[in-house]
Amino acid sequence: MQFATGCMGNKLVAKCNQSPMRNEEPRSFCPINMAVEVLGDTWTLLILRDMMFAGKRHFRDLLQCEERIASNILADRLRLLTLEKVITKSEDPTHKQKAIYSLTEKGIQLLPVLVQIRIWGAHHMGKIDAVSPAVKAFNRKLERGGPELWAQMMAELRATHLGR
Amino acid sequence: MQFATGCMGNKLVAKCNQSPMRNEEPRSFCPINMAVEVLGDTWTLLILRDMMFAGKRHFRDLLQCEERIASNILADRLRLLTLEKVITKSEDPTHKQKAIYSLTEKGIQLLPVLVQIRIWGAHHMGKIDAVSPAVKAFNRKLERGGPELWAQMMAELRATHLGR
DNA sequence: AGAACTGGTTGCAATTTGCAACCGGTTGCA
DNA sequence: TGCAACCGGTTGCAAATTGCAACCAGTTCT
């Protein structure tokens, strides 16, 4: 029990609203499939988006996402991402009850995936007038930037999430 | 009714085992979210994987994927992907009952997304000994290849799927 | 002291998934 | 010609997952 903040008798209970404990065999060992088994749902990538692009690292912040994720789903996804070592959870020194979620190196290396998804989405799904000029400009930058830009962004994430 | 092959009185019935007709508003207009609303489930990306990397274009072929997708789910996802214009469906001239699924330009431009997912999966989820040397070699090639390689692969897909 | 904020949990209804059986038409082969 | 195998699915049902809204016990702010 490394982080026994908060409520509820800490009885290792974990039944409600939770995806399987991820003990099961993967459906196959294809790398794409293994990745999809972690990322392939409606919320996980949005959580990572908010951590990467919006700098959100607290439960309450992540809960405020534009798409209105439910708190039980968020809790479950954070648990799974932690289990998969895409993120880690630690205490916030400034507030006994606050948890800080950080990207691991594994998580940071998802940035190119997110970037490509964003480029594709902006290109093919984007309602032009529904996005602010600033966002549009950043999309263009991402498209032009290429691997070097991603590397730079990943370096920044390493600085803030891994303290390097 | 453009393609009335097969069975069932064509009564436009569509109730069982189907995701919503996708008439609903998106949860938000964020490009990543809009993309995730199309791609964010456990099967869609695997179908696209098989179309892109394994050249599968028939229902029966796609049904044979390693992960054993159920036929009703496959039918539903193909319907959604068609609705989203990621793929198209057409008749096979050699066989009245065969449908050919083709990637659209929108679908082909998902290749970089799939490639990044594959790279990440191979890097971070891969059981080293569970993958053939040929696949491993191709993974390395993808990693080194960069945007130029993707462009080349996309050109090949255009040739076979769009007949250009 | 009380209000507001912290990271969640709980129960329940509604939706989605997965399974297995099945369907009617088409095609290849003997 | 006849029949088996193949074609793209559909159907009904049980099980799992999602979404909602209320709630909780500590902690911090005022």
| Number of folded domains that form chain B | 1
pLDDT for res B139: 94
The model's pLDDT over A140-163, given as tens digits with 9 standing for 90+, comes to: 999 999 999 999 999 999 999 999
pLDDT for res B24: 76
B71 nearest nucleotide via C1' and CA: D9
Q: Which residue is nearest to nucleotide D26 (CA to C1')?
A: A6
Average confidence (pLDDT) over A72-94: 97
Is pLDDT above 70 for A19? no
Pick the residue with more confidence: A20 or A86?
Answer: A86
pLDDT for res A132: 86
Tell whether B111 is covered by a domain. Answer: yes
Confidence of residue A18 (pLDDT cuts 50, 70, 90): low
The rounded distance, in Å, linking the Cα atoms of A38 and A110 is: 12
CA distances for B122 relative to A146, A147, B106, B134, B160, angstroms: 21, 18, 25, 13, 27
The answer to whether residue A63 neighbours chain B at the CB level (below 8 Å) is no
Q: Which residue is nearest to nucleotide D25 (CA to C1')?
A: A7
User: Structural domain of residue A46, as residue ranges?
Assistant: 31-162
Q: Do B46 and A32 touch (CB under 8 A)?
A: yes
Q: Please give the backbone phi and psi of residue B88, each rounded to the nearest 5 degrees, phi first.
A: -130, 160
The model's pLDDT over A89-100, given as tens digits with 9 standing for 90+, comes to: 999 999 999 999
Question: 3-state secondary structure string, A35-77?
Answer: HHHHHCCCCHHHHHHHHHHCCCCCHHHHHCCCCCCCHHHHHHH
Strands B95-103 and A87-92: unpaired
Tell whether A128 is covered by a domain. Answer: yes
Residue of chain B whose alpha carbon sits nearest to that of A85: B124
Tell whether B11 is covered by a domain. Answer: no
Confidence of residue A13 (pLDDT cuts 50, 70, 90): very low
Tell whether B1 is covered by a domain. Answer: no
Buried b / exposed e over A37-64, threshold 16 CB at 10 Å, is bbbbbbbbbbbbbbbbbeebbebeebbe
Q: Do A36 and B117 touch (CB under 8 A)?
A: yes
Domain at B157, CATH number: 1.10.10.10
**Residue A16 CA to nucleotide C11 C1', Å?**
9
Average confidence (pLDDT) over A32-41: 98
Other Cβ atoms less than 10 A from the Cβ of A104: the count is 18
Which residues in chain B land under pLDDT 70?
Answer: 1-23
Position A36: which residue type?
V
pLDDT for res A8: 33
